[in-house]
Structure formats: C-alpha cells, structure tokens
Amino acid sequence: MPIHNEAKLGEIAKTVIMPGDPIRAKYIAEKFLDEYKLVNQVRGMYTFTGKYKGKEITVMASGMGMPSMGIYSYELYKFYNVENIIRIGSCGSYSEKLDILDIILVDNSYTDGNFAKSMSNVESHMVEASNILNNIIEKTALELNQKYVKGNIACTENFDQYVYDTNAFMNRLPKQYNLLGAEMESFALFYTAKYFKRNSACLLTVSDSVYRKRELSSQERENSMNNMINLALESAIKL
C-alpha cells in the first residue's frame, strides 16, 4: 500500500486532475464537483473524489517539483490503478509570442535533471505527453472555443526566477526544442506515466513572462485558471 496516501482502494477515480497547490485542489472540488469527499490529507495533499457532470473524477494536489510529483503520480498509477492524470498548473514564458494568461498544452517535457536516471537508471531528458489525452484535450478545446498553444516545455529543478543567472539558464536550454517556458513537474509525471504505460497530460497557464511585465488582478487570475480547469474537466469526462 502507498506510504503517502490514506485513500482506500476504490476511493480514487480512474482519471485524476492534478494541480500543484492543495488549496487549488480544494477550490476545484468545491466549485466544480458534486458529491465530493475528502479521501486523503496526508502531508496536506488534499485529495477529493466527486462527480463532474455525472462522471467520477478525483482532484489531488501534487506539491511542487519533480520529486513530489514523482511520488504522488507513482502511487496513483501503481496502487490505485489510475489510468489518466491531467496536470494543471502555471508556468513562466520564454516566448515572445505568448501573453500572460495564455494556456499551453504540453507536447513534450525537457529537463536537464536526472529524474529518469534516478528512477530507472536510464539517461533520458525528453519525454512526451500521451497522444490519447492530448488529442481529446485538443478536440475539447475546439468544442469550447478555448484558445491554447501546443508546444514543448522545460521542467526545472529550481524555480526559474530564483536561479543565479536566468539568462545563462535560458541560453543553456536546447534551442532545437523550441521550449515555450518553464515549470517544475511535467517531466516527472510524463516519465512515470510512461513507466507504468498509463496516460498523462499537462495544461499550463502563463503566469509570468521574461518579455511581458504586468500586474494581474485576482479576478483575472481566477478567470484564467477556471478556463484551464474547465478544459481539463470537460476533457476528463470523455475518458
């Protein structure tokens, strides 16, 4: 049985929506789910299972960083037989074409870290999302008239705004991958899903940019996050 999750077998759905923040998991359950129940709160990683338009869905926090995402996604796939995980989160943009609050559907995740080597003794730094999930998300976005950008992302081991030299970090990233920005969890999710032969996807909202500086109101942030959450949930009910 898992070490970091107290939910009983049968209390976690086959499809999980996974924000990083436990408070956001609580917000999603309260605002979007019916008949929801708190099934896990070990280490404050709130996990709720409820129904969205009649479909059973679980919302669980992942925490921050690849190690945290690696632990929780591993346990979901291995011990709870979860089939699909859709990460939803925020990212910093490295592209002049992206504006604050744009939504990114991640195609491939690149890291210069050693998550894959630590987990399976394999030298791997690029891993793709599940085509099955991405295709469903793209079709759903079209139905909802929800704009998005599909592309590759960098998955870092440090919060990019806190690195010693941001320009040096950006220059180190492989230019051939056309990385749109950076976040901290997608590689671990995609690699773990691949390890278990399950499905994973990642939707990100641009929260800051090296090219655009502007203050966002709390209402702007909430509306944008709600658009991303809605896209994830509407996609989830098709699985």
Q: Which of the residues are catalytic?
A: 208
- Provide the 10 A C-beta neighbour count for residue 136: 21
Q: Are strands 55-60 and 149-155 parallel, antiparallel or unpaired?
A: unpaired
168: alpha, beta or left? (left if phi > 0; alpha if psi -120 to 50): alpha
Inter-residue contact 46 to 61 (CB < 8 Å)? yes
Half-sphere exposure of 60 (CA within 13 A, CB side): 32
Inter-residue contact 160 to 169 (CB < 8 Å)? yes
CA dist 207 and 224 (Å) reads 10
Inter-residue contact 160 to 206 (CB < 8 Å)? no
